[in-house]
A and B are shown apart, each in its own frame.
Chain A
Amino acid sequence: MKHLSIPLIKNLTEFTISLESMIDNIPMGISVVDRQRKIILINRSFEALTGFSKKEVIGISCGHILRSKQCIKNCPILTMDENSELACNESDIINKDRQLIPVRLNVASLKNVNGEIEGYIETIEDLRAIRELDTQIRHAFTFAHLIGHSPQMERIFKIIPVFAQSDSSVLITGETGTGKDMIAEAIHQASNRSKGTFVKINCGALPENLLESELFGHQKGSFTGAIENKPGRFRLAHNGTLYLTEIGDLPLTLQVKILTFLDDQVIHPIGSTKGFQANVRIIAGTHRNLEKMVKEGKFRADLLFRLNVVRIHLPPLRERENDTGLLLDHFLNLLNTKLNKKVRGLSVAALKTLHNYYYPGNVRELRNIIEYAMNVCQGNQVELEHLPTYLFGAKLIIEESVSNPESETTIYQTPPEVQETTRQSQTWSEMEKNMILDALSKARGKRSKAAEILGCGRSTLWRKIKKYKIM
């Protein structure tokens, strides 16, 4: 039990120091191994990183505990001699929680007074944070998860931190797929309320009576089926931000209740006699033209004035100069990793088609097109035939619709002539599900064959099957 005795450092200072307590305070995984690479000592950071405890690893070969690619393929200790310097390599480990973690491994020999190797010291640095930072640096033209270097987007990126600092209500408008939800979350994250919750509710997703209860909560017994008290989204967002998406779909009766809240900051749950003072910042988003709706009597003018304190309008992709190319590159890189593909780029013809397309579904549609093309493409370049067929039937960029002053009232509404293509692009999930079902049927249920037909790996197919709950 030589290894279990407490290791000490003598003669360094006046008192004997416990090596264990010293290395435990170092915020980097450290292990000390003997000449046979069996572990003698590890610190607390090593335990946290690998998931193995000190007690269980003593006397075990370090490769079995560290489980790094470096250990298995090219263990640096095997080639070390008395003259070797520190070995530093980047590799990865799989911890006990089955996570693959990128790490930097440093190995140095421990020599006795005669210069003979008695063991080795290894340090393991977790590179997850650095890798994440690298990704952020690569996205130089970004804010939160938004990407763009067009003047319109740069203006928005500059103004968001300013808007975030105030508590004023924000109205975000823009066509579908322009990133309204992302802007709302970015404002919350950049604000003083970021430690509070960000609660999102789709005003168009629920029937009126359910939506009221969902927003304001209810008291037990206030209506049939109210078997317990419900706090409501306003209360859940207390000290945080409430994002009302598709505010244009909010029924008129509820518009009055929101208006009341914006006036006195008090919410009244259904069936309750007491009000609750909620400290909530409201952000609303819509793809509808609220001014036009006010004229038509479908939206209250006073609510629009109260929401419209700070207004952010997100431009459609076709009006964002040169952003299509930047987003194309971004999605290619992102999806190469996600789909485990090696697509290097697009052919000139495919690029031309994408640059000339109208993008009624905006950035979301562009992403879906790239995802479709990369799923279909089996080589390393996306060709014209890999693009969805509906692109070739759709109208190309219509200069007049952008410059037409009449279009002012419909500036963030999808032009009717391209609404059909929006519908198609928004059901990409359905398309993908159908493609998987077709392939499975062609392959008579054999998933490896189906994966071959679809041009993806078996694991990717398995993930998609699980995602769409096909089995």
Chain B
Amino acid sequence: MMRQKLLIPLMGDDIAPRFDLATEAVIISFDPEWNEEEEKILVFSQASAEDLCHLILTEGIKVVICSAIEEEYYHYLTWKKIKIFDSVIGIWKKATESFKEGTLTAGTILGN
């Protein structure tokens, strides 16, 4: 299995409520055994859904965990074969754990 990359748009410790308004994101790299290899937090000069989509594609992200995402961007990313868990609410570290355990689904509310 290949190395996997996960992106979560952030607002502080929480998953950002809106994909298009996020000014921070974390990219987590996993080895084939799903052990975390690297964690990188990025801060953007301005929020933009298009720029975030571009980043996702250029960084080779395979999974996105986010909260609200407009249909247009959702379809664009899924068309690009990126797995999206949307409407996930809560602390991003909890979401990552839930993803690694395989219990995460779209619409999961982990609490904040």
Contact = CB atoms under 8 A, between A and B. Distances in A.
Contact of A61 (B16, B18, B79, B112): B112
Nearest to A93: B68
Contact of B67 (A56, A64, A459, A462): A64
A457 B51 CA distance: 11
Interface string A43-75: 000000000000011011101110101011100
B17 A71 contact: yes
A79 interface: no
B71 A98 contact: yes
B99 interface: no
A448 interface: yes
A96 B89 CA distance: 12
Most chain A beta-carbon neighbours within 10 Å: one of B11, B50, B79, B109:
B109
A72 B71 contact: no
B76 interface: yes
B86 A64 contact: no
B18 A60 contact: no
Contact of A459 (B14, B18, B76): B76
Interface of chain B, helix or strand or loop or mixed? mixed
Nearest to A97: B71
A59 B14 CA distance: 15
B74 A459 contact: no
B46 to A, nearest CB: 12
Contacts of A72: 11, 16-18, 21
Contacts of A65: 89
A121 B86 CA distance: 27
A458 interface: yes
A98 B86 contact: yes
Contact of B112 (A60, A71, A93, A99): A60
Contacts of B68: 67, 93-95, 98
B111 interface: yes
A100 interface: yes
Contacts of A448: 54
22 contacts: A57-B109, A60-B109, A60-B111, A61-B112, A69-B18, A71-B17, A72-B11, A72-B21, A95-B68, A97-B71, A98-B68, A98-B69, A98-B70, A98-B71, A99-B71, A100-B70, A457-B50, A458-B54, A459-B50, A459-B73, A459-B76, A466-B79
Given A72-B11, A94-B70, A96-B87, 19 more contacts: A56-B109, A60-B89, A60-B111, A61-B112, A64-B14, A64-B17, A71-B17, A94-B18, A94-B69, A95-B68, A97-B71, A98-B71, A99-B70, A448-B54, A458-B50, A458-B53, A458-B54, A459-B50, A459-B72
